């Protein structure tokens, strides 16, 4: 049994290349197993939940692209990315989103005692998110919370505060790609085995924004819901046709070459 577990852990994760950008072909269960392996390893590891927008950012931002290559885990998030995987013959098993990951990690913390730290969102939001999550998972170990609107002057104190709390998982909700770059830049000082970018997840758990109903998520229209809640997201939505066009062109080039 133990040997089977080790073999499973040693097996490399399957990767897809979406417009050349690396995304792992994992479902939620495999992603969570990988996170638990990272926690045991105790080295700093970065986890990125990548949607179509993440791929577009990576194509224009060399630093972020390098992080997508180095990350211990890049999960497939968003309808657009799942569609691209199917189109390019590298299907993803399912969506593995930051919002869902926060919930699963809190449950695992409740069951196994993993220490979590919530960093990001407006003042008071991460606290409220933590309170709401603790109502459902009372034994979860949330060892600290900190909002994401701090100045450079406050940064050293915040880094020291996080390191002193010794979290095993740092959930960073400061928007992509800032959250990933920030976490990776400070990895040595933070010393956290799982640093995961979770975007606006704390707003969802605090009840500041509502998640799309299941049926809208199922038909791939969560973006429409988000846009109604926050019209500033129009830039991301406008990017979707650009992403789709590039995927179709890429597929066409693949077929002509083959
Ligand atoms: N945020 C933050 N610090 C900042 C800017 C943004 O903590 O300086 C937070 C913001 O309050 C929100 C999250 O980052 O909770 C970004 O959410 P969004 O859904 O836009 O994330 P993305 O999809 O860009 O990853």
End-to-end CA, the chain:
43
pLDDT of residue 102: 98
Two tokens, residue 99: 């919002």
pLDDT of residue 212: 85
Distance CA 238, CA 245 (A): 12
Q: What is the mean pLDDT of the chain?
A: 93
pLDDT of residue 4: 54
Per-residue pLDDT, averaged over 203-223, amounts to 87
What are the residues facing 102 on neighbouring strands? Answer: none
Two tokens, residue 17: 């290349």
Pair type for strands 194-197 and 46-50? parallel
pLDDT of residue 201: 96
Question: Does the structure show a pLDDT above 50 at 55?
Answer: yes
Residue 230 Cα to ligand 1 midpoint, Å, equals 12
Residue 194 Cα to ligand 1 midpoint, Å, equals 19
On the CB side of 117, how many CA atoms lie within 13 Å of its CA? 26
- Please tell me the residue having the least CA distance from ligand 1 atom 18: 200
Per-residue pLDDT, averaged over 46-54, amounts to 97
Distance CA 75, CA 176 (A): 14
Residue 33 Cα to ligand 1 midpoint, Å, equals 27
pLDDT of residue 42: 77
Two tokens, residue 91: 């299907």
Least confident of 86-90, 141-145, 152-156, 210-214: 210-214
According to DSSP H, which parts of the chain are helical?
2-10, 28-41, 52-60, 62-70, 79-87, 98-112, 125-136, 155-165, 178-185, 187-190, 201-206, 214-218, 222-229, 234-257
Higher pLDDT, 128 or 228: 128
pLDDT of residue 253: 80
**Which protein residues are within 6 Å of ligand 1, measured from CB?**
120-122, 148-149, 173-176, 199-200, 202-203
Question: Does the structure show a pLDDT above 60 at 46?
Answer: yes
pTM listed for this prediction: 0.92
Least confident of 60-64, 66-70, 86-90, 236-240: 236-240
3-state secondary structure of 215: helix
Question: Does the structure show a pLDDT above 70 at 8?
Answer: no
What's the CATH fold of domain 2-206? Answer: Rossmann fold (3.40.50)
Question: Does the structure show a pLDDT above 90 at 2?
Answer: no
Residue 155 Cα to ligand 1 midpoint, Å, equals 17
Question: Does the structure show a pLDDT above 50 at 1?
Answer: no
Least confident of 41-45, 100-104, 174-178: 41-45
- Please tell me the residue having the least CA distance from ligand 1 atom 5: 174
Going from N- to C-terminal start, the domains of the chain cover: 2-206
């Amino acid at each position: 049994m133990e040997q089977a577990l080790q073999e499973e852990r040693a097996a490399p994760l399957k990767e897809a290349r979406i417009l050349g950008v690396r995304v792992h072909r994992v479902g939620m269960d495999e992603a969570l197993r990988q996170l638990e392996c990272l926690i045991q390893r105790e080295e700093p590891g970065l986890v990125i939940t990548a949607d179509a927008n993440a791929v577009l950012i990576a194509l224009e931002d060399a630093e972020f692209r390098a992080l997508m290559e180095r990350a211990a885990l890049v999960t497939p998030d968003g309808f657009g990315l799942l569609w691209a995987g199917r189109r390019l013959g590298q299907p993803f098993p399912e969506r593995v989103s930051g919002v869902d990951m926060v919930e699963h990690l809190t449950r695992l913390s409740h069951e196994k005692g993993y220490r979590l730290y919530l960093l990001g969102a407006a003042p008071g939001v991460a606290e409220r998110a933590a309170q709401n999550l603790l109502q459902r998972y009372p034994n979860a170990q949330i060892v600290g919370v900190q909002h994401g609107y701090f100045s450079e002057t406050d940064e050293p104190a915040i880094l020291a505060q996080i390191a002193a709390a010794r979290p095993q998982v740092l959930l960073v909700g400061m928007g992509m790609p800032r959250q990933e770059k920030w976490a990776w830049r400070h990895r040595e000082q933070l010393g956290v085995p799982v640093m995961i970018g979770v975007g606006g997840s704390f707003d969802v758990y605090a009840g500041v924004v509502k998640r799309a109903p299941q049926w809208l998520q199922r038909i791939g229209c969560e973006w429409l819901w988000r846009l109604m809640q926050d019209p500033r997201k129009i830039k991301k939505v406008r990017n979707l046709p650009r992403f789709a066009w590039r995927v179709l062109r890429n597929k066409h080039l693949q077929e002509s070459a083959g």
